């Protein structure tokens, strides 16, 4: 079920919707609602646990966010809203329900290390495929996905490829290059861990080497994305991934990445100058100035309701475009909403890092650290665009939250296995002594 969600999230263009359903007609969002319904049915059934149930702090943090969203929505409706804001607000509630289904099924449905590792491998493949499509768009200057809008009953809300400097800005199947860059670089830690843990264990050397392909392709795609946020995200992803690598491989990875980057700049003339210009001229760039000016206007927009905000999904672009997901959450959900969302991130990071520390299995430790690195990358990049308003980046973020909870359960099972093994060994030794 989660694999189908990954396919719908990555393979179907985010801008493609079922015309009759409007903003709710994105296949990944609809499948998230199916997952929520499935999870609810499972709660009503007698269950046999194949792993010891553990407390999930992320469940409580996400529950707090749901409460804030519902209360904020009710307060917004009582205040009265323009007619054209009611439908987006209701759609935002349904998107939240879809995210709930993804998070809960991932957290409660993934019970073994093999299942988690299999999903991580599929995410690595999906991210590599997305990066590969982006590289083709960069080279050819063609989106390759516009034909989807010609299908009966399908609407494509996209402006096609965009250009920055002399280069095409790739977007893959995402709506915007920023969403594309976020998903690609946030997948690098997972792909890197798969390449290390899977690439050379239990497989022929040629087959194992193929697992490095998503890493290399995603790394190159992030460089040629012609985006400040993609470069920043790449740096965050690489640095955050280092703890998950064996110490002997860290220096090799850094040197190899540097050589690969130099090779890209040599192969693509003027790319280095364009990227340097993006950072050197950041203070004069309209997008940077817009983000800076947005912070000064936050008190103006939350002044009437600082605790609960304006209402989730009611702050339309006609009022202001913040290009900052965290600031938009503050405006729409207030201080309570921002704290609840921050609580989800903190509990997710604590779950995977604590699980990585407690587990005795190196592969589980590595996957936990990789998930933490991916979450941290998303958290940083959401400060560069309103990532929670985009279906792919938001859906991927909440999938990572669910996988964090799953790893906590798996790590607890690992502790039980280790303790059981220790007791069995002690019993055997004691019997032999007698």
Q: 228-258 pLDDT, tens per residue?
A: 899 999 999 999 999 888 887 888 888 988 9
The token pair that represents 71 in the structure block: 């209360």
Regions of the chain where pLDDT drops below 50 = 202, 204, 421-422, 424-426, 429
Please give the Cα distance from 338 to 64 (Å, whole number).
Answer: 11
What 3-state DSSP class applies to 48? coil
Distances in Å between the Cα of 292 and the Cα atoms of 284, 335, 433 are 11, 20, 73
| Helix, strand, coil % in the chain, rounded to nearest 5 | 75, 5, 25
Query: What pLDDT does 345 receive?
Result: 97
Query: What pLDDT does 360 receive?
Result: 86
Query: What pLDDT does 422 receive?
Result: 46
The token pair that represents 25 in the structure block: 């007609």
pTM of the model: 0.91
Strand intervals (E) in 128-214: 154-156, 162-164, 167-169
Choose among 101, 120, 53, 61: nearest CA to 403: 120
Residue 193 and residue 356 in contact, taking contact as beta carbons nearer than 8 Å = no
What 3-state DSSP class applies to 17? strand
Cα atoms found within 13 Å of the Cα of residue 363, Cβ hemisphere only: 18
H or E element, residue 18: strand 16-18
Residue 238 and residue 134 in contact, taking contact as beta carbons nearer than 8 Å = no
The token pair that represents 205 in the structure block: 């050397």
Vertex 259: Cα angle to 253 and 265 (nearest 5)? 135
Please give the Cα distance from 305 to 383 (Å, whole number).
Answer: 22
Phi and psi, residue 17, nearest 5°:
-135, 155
Please give the Cα distance from 144 to 166 (Å, whole number).
Answer: 20
Strands 162-164 and 154-156: unpaired
């Amino acid at each position: 079920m989660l694999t189908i969600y990954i396919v719908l999230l990555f393979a179907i263009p985010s801008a493609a919707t079922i015309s009759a359903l409007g903003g709710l007609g994105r296949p990944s969002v609809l499948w998230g609602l199916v997952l929520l319904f499935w999870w609810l049915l499972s709660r009503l059934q007698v269950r046999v646990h194949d792993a010891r149930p553990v407390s999930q702090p992320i469940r409580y943090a996400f529950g707090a966010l749901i409460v804030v969203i519902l209360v904020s929505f009710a307060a917004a409706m009582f205040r009265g809203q323009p007619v054209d804001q009611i439908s987006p607000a209701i759609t935002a509630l349904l998107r939240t329900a879809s995210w709930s289904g993804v998070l809960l099924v991932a957290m409660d449905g993934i019970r073994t290390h093999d299942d988690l590792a299999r999903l991580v491998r599929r995410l690595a493949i999906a991210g590599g495929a997305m990066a590969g499509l982006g590289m083709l768009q960069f080279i050819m200057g063609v989106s390759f996905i516009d034909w989807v809008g010609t299908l009966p009953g399908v609407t494509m809300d996209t402006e096609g490829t965009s250009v920055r400097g002399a280069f095409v800005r790739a977007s893959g199947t995402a709506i915007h290059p920023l969403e594309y860059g976020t998903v690609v670089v946030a997948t690098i830690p997972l792909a890197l861990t798969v390449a290390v843990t899977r690439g050379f264990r239990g497989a022929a050397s040629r087959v194992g080497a193929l697992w490095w392909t998503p890493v290399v392709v995603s790394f190159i795609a992030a460089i040629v994305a012609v985006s400040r946020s993609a470069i920043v995200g790449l740096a965050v992803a690489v640095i955050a991934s280092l703890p998950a690598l064996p110490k002997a491989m860290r220096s090799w990875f850094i040197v190899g990445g540097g050589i690969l980057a130099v090779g890209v700049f040599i192969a693509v003339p003027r790319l280095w100058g364009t990227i340097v210009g993006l950072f050197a001229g950041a203070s004069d760039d309209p997008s940077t100035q817009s983000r800076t000016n947005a912070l000064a206007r936050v008190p103006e927009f939350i002044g009437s309701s600082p605790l609960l905000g304006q209402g989730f999904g009611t702050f339309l672009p006609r009022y202001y475009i913040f290009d900052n997901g965290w600031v938009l959450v503050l405006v729409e959900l207030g201080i309570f909403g921002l704290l609840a969302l921050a609580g989800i991130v903190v509990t997710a990071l604590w779950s995977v890092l604590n699980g990585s520390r407690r587990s005795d299995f190196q592969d589980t430790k590595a996957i936990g650290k990789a998930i933490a690195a991916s979450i941290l990358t998303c958290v940083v990049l959401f400060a560069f665009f309103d990532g929670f308003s985009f279906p792919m980046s938001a859906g991927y973020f909440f999938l990572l939250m669910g996988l964090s909870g799953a790893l906590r359960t798996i790590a607890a099972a690992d502790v039980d296995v280790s303790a059981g093994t220790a007791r069995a060994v002690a019993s055997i030794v004691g019997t032999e002594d007698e």
